[in-house]
Amino acid sequence: MMSKVELIVHDGTFHFDDLASVALLELLLPDNKISVTRTRDKELIKKADWVIDVGGEYNHESRRYDHHQPSSPTRHNGVPYAALGLLWRHWGATISGSDQVANLIDQEIIQMLDGPDNGFATIESLVPEGKVVDLGILSWLWSPNFNDEPNYDERFFELLPFVKLIIQNIIRKYQAKVLADKEFAVAYDSASDKRFVTINPGVSPLSFDNYPEVLWLISQSQTNDTWKAKCVTSGETFDCRKSFPKSWCGLSGESLQKNTNIIDSEFVHRSGFLAVAKTKEAVLQMCELALVKQ
Taking only the tens place, the pLDDT of each residue in 264-279 is 999 999 999 999 999 9
Distance from C-alpha of 203 to C-alpha of 180, rounded to nearest angstrom: 5
Both 152 and 273 in one domain: the answer is: no
186 in a structural domain:
no
Q: What is the DSSP string of 204-239?
A: --S-GGG-TT--EEEEE-SSSS-EEEEEPBPTTSS-
182 in a structural domain:
no
Sequence-distant (6+) residues with CB within 8 A of 283 are 218, 227, 228, 229, 265, 275, 276, 277
36 has which bridge partners? 7
Domain end residue (candidates: 117, 143, 175):
175
The parent domain of residue 115 ranges over 3-175
Q: What is the pTM of this model?
A: 0.88
Both 223 and 158 in one domain: the answer is: no
Q: Return the pLDDT at 126.
A: 86
Which residues of the chain fall short of a pLDDT of 50? none
pLDDT in tens, 137-189: 999 999 999 999 999 999 999 999 999 999 999 999 999 999 999 999 999 99
Both 122 and 252 in one domain: the answer is: no
User: What is the total count of domains within the chain?
Assistant: 2
40 in a structural domain:
yes
181 in a structural domain:
no
Q: Return the pLDDT at 1.
A: 62
Both 144 and 272 in one domain: the answer is: no
Q: Return the pLDDT at 222.
A: 86
* CA dihedral sign of residues 253, 255, 258, 262: negative
